[in-house]
A and B are shown apart, each in its own frame.
Chain A
């Protein structure tokens, strides 16, 4: 069974930079997993930030960027703002028409 791992929580200072990661319990994340990232605040539907590892979705500020760092997918927020305080989820395409989400990272900006 494929398990996708994310940091449960992270904290960043306003104006600071934070990198959230998305890994696999066994193996490395590659571009072939087409990692995508979502931002969600309580009571709202998720908002798509990044698709196919490093492409920004329409209307997403360029302070959000995606990449592969080592053996994980990564979401970097540069110049964090108060309204970036949210839950962030990654999802990996694992083949055979299936996807697996990570458990999410709760980001605090303080």
Chain B
């Protein structure tokens, strides 16, 4: 079925940077697109970014374009989300998820990013 484990969340000041990681196991990581989805406290889910299986193309929601960079390492079965120029509105639980048949499955347990002064 697959397993995903995120890490790297924490408290950061507005304008600061943070790097999230996600390690995958128990599935053919290099054969799948992957994504990040976030959820602000008390709010709904928001797709943030996706990356092709070979890392050749990345796609971002407009609100993070130019600030977030999504990358993957198919040898280490890992993902990274480099987040720069963070804003208060980026505060959320960030989930990594496998893209399978245009759906997100499975999901990691999430990592909380708090942007506050």
Do A51 and B110 have beta carbons less than 8 Å apart?
Answer: no
A-B pairs, top 3 by smallest CB distance, nearest first, are: A97-B59, A34-B102, A51-B103
Chain A residues with Cβ below 8 Å from B45 are 38, 40, 46, 89, 91, 101, 104
Q: Does B16 sit at the interface, judged by CB under 8 A?
A: no
Chain A residues with Cβ below 8 Å from B114 are none
Chain A residues with Cβ below 8 Å from B61 are 98
Asked if A51 meets B47 with Cβ closer than 8 Å, knowing A45-B95, A58-B1, the reply is no
Asked if A46 meets B101 with Cβ closer than 8 Å, knowing A38-B45, A97-B57, the reply is no
Q: Does A14 sit at the interface, judged by CB under 8 A?
A: no
Q: Does B50 sit at the interface, judged by CB under 8 A?
A: yes
Q: Does A78 sit at the interface, judged by CB under 8 A?
A: no
Asked if A55 meets B95 with Cβ closer than 8 Å, knowing A97-B59, A100-B47, the reply is no
- Chain A residues touching B, majority SS: strand
Q: Does A57 sit at the interface, judged by CB under 8 A?
A: yes
Tally of A interface residues using CB under 8 Å = 26
Q: A34-B101, A51-B102, A104-B45 are in contact. List 10 more A-B contacts (CB 8 A).
A: A34-B102, A36-B104, A46-B95, A48-B103, A48-B105, A97-B50, A97-B58, A97-B59, A98-B59, A102-B44
Q: Does B106 sit at the interface, judged by CB under 8 A?
A: yes
Q: Does A52 sit at the interface, judged by CB under 8 A?
A: yes
Q: With the chains together, A55 CA to B105 CA distance in Å?
A: 13
Chain A residues with Cβ below 8 Å from B44 are 87, 89, 101-104
**A residues neighboring B (CB under 8 Å):** 34, 36, 38, 40, 45-48, 51-52, 55, 57-58, 87, 89, 91, 93, 96-104
Q: Does B73 sit at the interface, judged by CB under 8 A?
A: no
Closest residue of chain A to B57 (Cβ to Cβ) is A97
Q: With the chains together, A58 CA to B2 CA distance in Å?
A: 12
Closest residue of chain A to B109 (Cβ to Cβ) is A45
Q: With the chains together, A101 CA to B105 CA distance in Å?
A: 15
Chain A residues with Cβ below 8 Å from B47 are 91, 98-101
Chain B residues with Cβ below 8 Å from A99 are 35, 47, 50
